[in-house]
Amino acid sequence: MGENKLKLGMAAIATLLCAGTAAAKDLTFGYVPASLEYPYNVMTAKGFEEAGKKAGVKTVVLDPRGSVEKQGNALDDLLSQKVDAIGFLPLDSVVAESFVDKVNDAGIPVVAIALQVGDSATRKLNEPYPGLSALVATDNYQAGYVSGEMTAGVLPKDRKAKIAIVMGDPAYTIVKLDTDGFKAALDKAGANYEIVAEQPTNWTPDEGEAVCQNFLTAHPDLDVIFSHADDMAIGCARAIEAAGWKGKLIATGGGSKLGYDAIKAGEMYGSVCTRPQLLGELMFKAMHEAATNPETPKGRFVTYDMPQITKENLEDCPEKW
């Protein structure tokens, strides 16, 4: 996947953000997140708005509050405002294709953030929907892979290890990518393991707690619980404490303040650094490139590096959202 991956350093971003020109003053960019109910999405908007402010570009953020229909209406609203570029966080990857096509028909650059556009069963993450100027996203397969590498290092060597997975909402394409990457890393490491339980959630701590209670009741001899996000892991940690379980809790989708505190306190072994504010900045940069340079290639995939986070290197993940 690496050869198609566009990694952007903070120095390059800073150069763009400081390069506001007279022409940039007249630009207006719009962003439609999935829902500003979630801290992750709020941080993508913060990165987008701060980048716009530094570059002298007016920004508009419209919150569809988790509704696909309202997301479509918000995009229509931005089209009627004749903004110069549009970014959005797809609520439904398949429906999002029609959204992108409509924006394309209006001749406006469009960038998707965090989640891919199109059916993940037929489209790879690093091969974005061709109507997009860019897909700016965490490489969730790689994030799952990093979690799998971490897990391989803590599994028992003298027997088959038992692992349970706290999944996110299966409607999100990242759920399959997280799990596939996780298993691939374990297999590459030659780990002797069995996935004895998997259960979906709605991404909340309360559901994470309930799922882990079920896991520990049915499989008290688990070695590792792998969570698709810090949020569920926080709830899972409560169930672990109540059960007195001594295994390892490992997550991906990490970097939140609550996740940071849980790792520091020893409630969670580790996670993988994700940076939603940086994603918002990278989205702005991709939009700016497309809006100011007609020769900018379409269908780009933009991502960033994701280190492991453990108690030993908490400060390697600078965002705490």
Q: What is the pLDDT of residues 224-234, one digit of tens each?
A: 999 999 999 99
State percent of the chain over pLDDT 70: 92
pTM tops 0.85, yes or no: no
pLDDT given for residue 39 in this prediction = 86
d(CA 78, CA 66): 18
Is the distance from CB of 259 to CB of 271 less than 8 angstroms?
Answer: yes
Given the DSSP bridges, would you call strands 110-113 and 85-88 parallel, antiparallel or unpaired? parallel
Q: How confident is the model at residue 102 (pLDDT cuts 50, 70, 90)?
A: very high
Quote the pLDDT of residue 9: 47
**pLDDT of 1 higher than 60:** no
Provide the pLDDT for residue 17: 52
306-315 residue pLDDT tens: 999 999 999 9
pLDDT-derived band at 22, boundaries 50, 70, 90: very low
Whether 169 and 230 have beta carbons less than 8 Å apart is answered as no
* Tens digits of residue pLDDT in 139-175: 999 999 999 999 999 999 999 999 999 999 987 778 9
The residue among 239, 303, 237, 238 whose CA lies nearest residue 270 is: 237
What's the pLDDT band for 4 if we cut at 50, 70, 90?
Answer: very low
Confidence grade of residue 11 (pLDDT, cut at 50, 70, 90): very low
First to last CA, the chain: 28
**Does position 321 have pLDDT exceeding 90, yes or no?**
no
Give 196: exposed, middle or buried? Use CB within 10 Å, 0-12, 13-18, 19+: middle
Task: Tell me: pLDDT of 7 over 70.
Answer: no
pLDDT mean across residues, the chain: 92
What would the mean pLDDT of 201-223 be, rounded to a whole number? 97
Which pLDDT score, from 0 to 100, does residue 6 have? 45
pLDDT of residue 38: 85
Residue 297 DSSP code: P
Residue 35's pLDDT band (boundaries 50, 70, 90)? Answer: very high
CA distances from 169 to 172, 204, 205, 230, 232 (A): 6, 10, 13, 14, 11
